[in-house]
C-alpha cells in the first residue's frame, strides 16, 4: 500500500510542477513539444503504476483473514 501511495505522490508532485523546460523554454518553442511529450508519457506511466500498485494492495488486504 505504501508503494501505491508513494507512486501517486510522485505523480501528483510532477503534475503540479509540469515539465522542466531549460532556460525558460515553453511547449511552443522548438523542442518544447518533445520535452512536454516525454514528461506526459512518464506521467501516464507513473499513473498506471499507481493504479496497478493500488489494485495489488487492495487485493492483498482483501485476502487477509478477518479478525
pLDDT tens for each residue of 44-62: 999 999 999 999 999 999 9
H-assigned helices in the chain: 2-17, 32-63
> What is the spatial distance between Cα 44 and Cα 48, in angstroms, rounded to a whole number?
6
**Phi, psi values for residue 18, rounded to 5°:** 75, 180
5-50 tens-digit pLDDT = 999 999 999 999 999 999 889 999 989 999 999 999 999 999 999 9
Nearest to 45 by CA among 33, 56, 37: 37
pTM of the entire predicted model: 0.82
Amino acid at each position: 500500500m505504501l508503494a501505491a501511495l508513494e507512486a501517486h505522490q510522485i505523480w501528483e508532485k510532477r503534475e503540479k510542477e509540469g515539465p522542466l523546460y531549460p532556460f525558460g523554454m515553453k511547449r511552443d518553442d522548438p523542442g518544447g513539444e518533445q520535452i512536454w511529450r516525454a514528461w506526459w508519457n512518464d506521467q501516464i506511466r507513473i499513473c498506471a503504476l499507481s493504479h496497478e500498485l493500488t489494485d495489488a494492495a487492495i487485493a492483498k488486504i482483501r485476502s487477509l483473514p478477518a479478525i
